[in-house]
Copies of this chain bind each other. A is one copy, B any other.
Amino acid sequence: MTNALDHHAMLAAAIAEARKGLAEGGIPIGAAIFDEQGTLVGSGHNRRVQNGDPSMHGETDAFRNAGRQRSYRKLTMVTTLAPCWYCSGLIRQFGFPRVIVGESRTFQGGIDWLRSFNIEVIDCESEECVTLLTNYIQKNPAIWHEDIGEA
């Protein structure tokens, strides 16, 4: 149905959100939700640092910004980083059929678990996403660990 060109175009919206977060002094992880026609439904980025809000990961901020939806069964969640268990749970609970991740090298999260429910997970293996986040983590290891609940 979709091709690599589409995936990268959608991923660009999530990367733009990640860069916006970085410019605000936050963790550079972004996400975007698209419908079947490739129309943007909502996008967002991690807000731990800038809003002091631990509940807003890229995916949950995009989910909030998409507003109330009757169904997510034809929507695609796009995120610069493989979703953590919190965000993987969101994807499963609300029935997203497809997730496009920028990368899963820095953090793998729940992508194998999502695949076990026949949720399609496409990994773009984006060097841009890896570089963006690993540069941040090198400078801010404590904030990164806090964001994923590690000691």
A binding-site residues for B, Cβ under 8 Å: 48, 52-56, 60-61, 63-64, 66-73, 84-90, 92-95, 110, 146, 148-151
CA of A64 to CA of B84, assembled, Å: 17
Query: How many identical chains are in the complex?
Result: 2
Q: How far is the CB of A66 from chain B (nearest CB, A)?
A: 8
A92 / chain B contacts, CB cutoff of 8 Å: 85-86, 89
CA of A145 to CA of B55, assembled, Å: 23
Contact present for B71 and A54 (CB under 8 Å): no
CA of A84 to CA of B149, assembled, Å: 19
CA of A89 to CA of B55, assembled, Å: 12
Q: How far is the CB of A2 from chain B (nearest CB, A)?
A: 22
Residue among A60, A67, A73, A86 with max Cβ neighbours from chain B (10 Å): A86
- Cβ 8 A contact of A149, one of B72, B85, B86, B146: B72
A55 / chain B contacts, CB cutoff of 8 Å: 55-56, 60-61, 63-64
CA of A71 to CA of B70, assembled, Å: 35
- Cβ 8 A contact of A54, one of B63, B148, B150, B151: B63
